[in-house]
Amino acid sequence: MARNKDLDAILKAFDAIPKESRKAIRKSIDKGADELVGRMKYLAPVDDGDLKQSIRKQALSELAVRVEAGGEATTRPVREGVSATYDYALGQEYGTAEMPASPFFWPAVNTLKKRVRRRVDRAIGKAVKDTWGKK
């Protein structure tokens, strides 16, 4: 998967920050991802529990985490006797022809993104101040 040029530029800039400072930034990123996962699990509709169990965070690099839902546990056949499949996590989020949407992913992101972003920004600011502010 090709990475975003902005992400590459940010990661390159973070390479200049000492490892101890990066650990503090990583803690704030992990805390935000954990909050997102928790909110998504709270909002996810409960049928057999597969959807809630499929919500997870995945580390992409030292300073990047992805929160995702769905996958093998939530993949079902379109209809009995048909070989095509779909991920019902998407059906829950956006709805289907036979079922209205019951969003859980984007409402969690939209309600928490400012708080998570502010926390990460504070951690970055503190890391920069601690690293280069001592003279």
Query: Is the residue at 5 inside a domain?
Result: no
- Verdict on whether the full-model pTM lies above 0.85: no
Q: Kindly tell me if the per-residue pLDDT of 82 is higher than 90.
A: no
Mean pLDDT computed over 110-132 = 90
Q: Kindly tell me if the per-residue pLDDT of 110 is higher than 70.
A: yes
Q: Kindly tell me if the per-residue pLDDT of 2 is higher than 50.
A: yes
Contact 64, 3 (CB under 8 A): no
Query: Is the residue at 81 inside a domain?
Result: yes
Query: Is the residue at 123 inside a domain?
Result: yes
Give the chain's mean pLDDT.
Answer: 88
Long-range (24+ apart) CB contacts under 8 A made by 93-100 are: 93/69
Query: Is the residue at 10 inside a domain?
Result: no
Question: Residue 67 in 3-state DSSP?
Answer: strand
Mean pLDDT computed over 20-39 = 92
Pairing mode, strands 85-87 and 75-77: antiparallel
Query: Is the residue at 11 inside a domain?
Result: no
Cα–Cα separations (whole angstroms), residue 135 to 6, 10, 20, 129, 131: 30, 25, 18, 11, 10
Q: Kindly tell me if the per-residue pLDDT of 59 is higher than 50.
A: yes
**Domain span at 120:** 20-132
